A = this chain, B = another copy of it.
Amino acid sequence: MRKNKLKEIWKNNGTVFCGWLHIPNTWSAELMANAGWDSVTVDMQHGLHSMETAMQMMQAISTTEAVPLARVNWNTPGDIMRLLDMGATGIICPMINTKVDCENFVGACRYPPLGFRSFGPTRQRIYAGADYGDFSNDETLAIAMVETKEAVENIEQICEVKSLDGIFIGSGDLRLSLTGTNKKTDDGGMFENAVDKILACCHKNEIIPGIWVPNIDQAQIMIQKGFRFIALQSDSMMLNAVANQLSQELKNLT
């Protein structure tokens, strides 16, 4: 049996830091998994991987102690179940807007009688252990993304869904949905109010609050607010930034 290390961090009141994988490649995944994150997420939404590459990336992550998560591109049970079979310790699902959305999502992550996940944990039998079927419902994370105006309105009911582990705020989409633009303009506190409302609801329901942040400053703000799961940028954003910076420094030498 493989215990979920993220649950242990949270039990000890710690904060989980999560790397984010957009490059569809096992070598960049292995590098990221070795870079000190508690967890890394194979992002099937805005990342560029096919399902099979996602599996291979989870193998690469499994060479380390980092916990492999996956984000699906939509609330589709077939994909959720496959990523779990392939080795994901938890699923992050975008665009959960209603209680029904959330129930469908969580149900896809859980074996009966809690849910309707199909049994056949191909790679998990090796990665997590032969007894995977016995503990999977307890150790697998189901994390719903709240990132629309509608979802904020329904946040109370969403958070009440049984067996839901966390709420993850897609900060870009939430701002876009609330304000109609993804630029950081003066929104009269709309974004911050929504974040605070979600956070309060997580605390009330003893659900882990998480958020994606574009930089260290935002991370600091969100940790201080009480977020316990912080995802920062992505591998390709990092590579892009550092490569541009270094090539510019070289040009400045001449």
Which one of B62, B148, B219 lies within 8 Å of A116 (CB-CB)?
B148
Q: Determine the distance from Cα of A34 to Cα of B243 in the docked complex, in whole angstroms.
A: 9
- A-B contacts, 13 of them at CB < 8 A, read A19-B247, A45-B82, A46-B120, A48-B85, A50-B52, A72-B78, A74-B76, A94-B118, A112-B148, A112-B180, A118-B147, A119-B176, A241-B242
Quick one: given A25-B23, A220-B253, A235-B239, are A50 and B51 in contact (CB under 8 Å)? yes
Q: Determine the distance from Cα of A180 to Cα of B113 in the docked complex, in whole angstroms.
A: 5
Quick one: given A216-B246, A239-B238, are A28 and B28 in contact (CB under 8 Å)? yes
Closest to A59 in B: B60
Contact with B along A56-98 (1 / 0, CB 8 A): 1001101100000000111011110110011000000011000
Residues of chain A from 7 to 65 with CB closer than 8 A to chain B in the complex: 14-15, 17, 19, 22-28, 30-32, 34-37, 45-53, 55-56, 59-60, 62-63
> Which of A121-129, A161-169, A189-197, A201-209 lies at the interface?
A121-129
Quick one: given A28-B25, A36-B247, are A49 and B52 in contact (CB under 8 Å)? yes
Contact with B along A101-115 (1 / 0, CB 8 A): 000000000011100
Quick one: given A51-B50, A59-B59, are A79 and B73 in contact (CB under 8 Å)? yes
A56:B26 contact, CB within 8 angstroms? yes
Which one of B15, B47, B53, B173 lies within 8 Å of A122 (CB-CB)?
B47
Q: Determine the distance from Cα of A59 to Cα of B17 in the docked complex, in whole angstroms.
A: 24
Asked if A210 is at the interface of the complex by the 8 Å CB criterion, the answer is: no
